[in-house]
Amino acid sequence: MKNPDLAPARMKAGDVLRVGGAGLRARPLRVFLSALGIAIGIAAMIAVVGISSSSQAELNRQLQALGTNLLRVTPGQTLLGDSAELPEAAIGMIGRIGPVESVSATATVDAKVYRNDKIPTAQSGSIAVLAAKTDLPQTSGATIAQGVWLNDATAQYPTVVLGATAAQRLGITAPGPGVQVWLGDQYFTVAGILNPAGLTPELDQSALIGWPIAEKSLGFDGAPTTIYTRAAEQQVTAVQAILANTTNPQNPNEVQVSRPSDALAAKNAADATLNGLLLGLGAVALLVGGVGVANTMVISVLERRAEIGLRRSLGATRGQIRNQFLAESQLLSALGGICGVLIGIAVTAGYATYQGWTSVVPAWAMGGGLAATLLIGGIAGLYPAIRAARLSPTEALTAT
C-alpha cells in the first residue's frame, strides 16, 4: 500500500501555464521567430478568406444595385458566317412579352469622335459612337455622374453623353454648354458623363447620341445592334429562352442572348479558384510554422536537461514534465495564432479600404485559424514533451 504522504503534488492548470510561460520568457528571440512562422501562415489564411469575402460582399452589393434581371440581345452570324442584323421592329416585339418590365437599345453609328476637328483621323481613341434611346439608363442601369441624360428634345440635336472611359480619353472632366466634341464632321455639345457601368461596360467607351439625330445627320438606318431588356426576377430564365425567337422569328439562330450578371458570377468563380490556391499556400506556411515550433521545443528539451533532471529529482512526475512542455508549445502557437489573426484582419481591412469595399472577415475563419494553431501546436509539441518526460533524473543530470 502506498504512503499518501509520498504522493507527488498535483499541479493546477494555472501552475502549468505559469511554468510554461516561464520557459518561453527565457528564450524570447527563439520564441519570436517560431511564433512569427505561425503568424505568417494564419495571417495568409485570414487575409485570403477576408479579402475573398469582402470582394464577394461587394459583388453582391453591385448585383443587388444593378439587378440580375438584365438581358442583352445582340446580332449573331448568318449561316454563311456573315454578321447578322437585328430587325428594326425587334424593340417593340420584345416589349410585348408579358414579364418584360422595360426594353431599350443602342446602335452602332458609322462615325468617329474627336476632341476637336484638328485631331488626326487615326487618333480616334477607339471610342464607339452609339445611337441611344432616351430610356436607356432606366433599362441598362447606367447612371449620370455629371450633367444630364438625353431627352426627347436634345435627342434631335447635336448633343452627346460620354461614357466614363470615353470622357477620360477625350480629356473632358465636366459637361457644359461650351464643351463640345467633333463627331461625324460636326460639333456635338457634351450634355453629360456617365458613371462606370458594371453590367454594361460597353457604354464606358462610347459616345451616345440621340436616335433621331443619328438618323438625320449620320446616315443611321435605324436597326439596333444591342437591345437591353429587364424582366421580372422570377421570369428571367423563361424570357431569356424566348428572346431569340421574339427578336427575329424568321432566323432566331442569328440572335445572341446573354445575361451580363453571369459574367460577373463567372469572375467570382474564377476568384474562388484562385483563393483556393492561396489558401493552400497559407496552409503550407502554417505547416512550416508548426515545424518551427517542433524544432524550438526539441532544442529546448536538449538544452534544459539539467532543469528536467533537477525537477524530477525534486519530485516532479513524468506527467508534469510532459504537461509543462505541451503548455509551452500551446502557448507559443496561441501567441503566433493571435498575432496572425490580428495581422490578417489588418491586411483585409487595409485592402478593402483601398478598394472602397466593406471589410468582411468571417468569424469562422478567425475561430478556425486559432483552432488550427492550437492543433498544430499540440502535434508539434507532443514528441518533445514525451521525450522530456522519458528522461530519468540520473540520465538528465549526468548529461549536463
For 214-264, the pLDDT digits (tens) are 999 999 998 999 999 998 878 888 898 999 999 999 999 999 998 766 655
What is the maximal distance between C-alpha atoms in the chain? 114
Q: Is residue 5 part of a domain?
A: no
Nearest to 371 by CA among 379, 361, 382: 379
Q: Tell which of 206, 241, 259 closes a domain.
A: 259
User: Are 144 and 222 a contacting pair, CB within 8 Å?
Assistant: no
DSSP state of 309: H
Q: What is the structure's pLDDT at 157?
A: 95
The model carries a pTM of 0.57
Q: Tell which of 238, 259, 280 closes a domain.
A: 259
3-state helix, strand and coil shares in percent for the chain, rounded to the nearest 5: 60, 15, 30
pLDDT lower than 70: segments of the chain: 1-13, 15-16, 19-20, 23, 63-67, 260-279, 281-282, 285-286, 288-290, 292-293, 296-297, 300-302, 305, 393-400
Q: Tell which of 259, 287, 311 closes a domain.
A: 259
Supply the range of the domain harboring residue 277: 15-63+265-399
Residues 82 and 41 in one domain: no
Sequence-separated (6 or more) residues with CB below 8 Å from residue 97 = 231, 239, 242, 243, 246
DSSP 255-288: EEEE-HHHHHHHHHHHHHHHHHHHHHHHHHHHHH
**Grid cell locating 208:** 451616345
Q: What is the structure's pLDDT at 65?
A: 65
Residues 114 and 214 in one domain: yes
Antiparallel, parallel or unpaired: β 206-210 and 128-132: parallel
Q: Total domain count for the chain?
A: 2
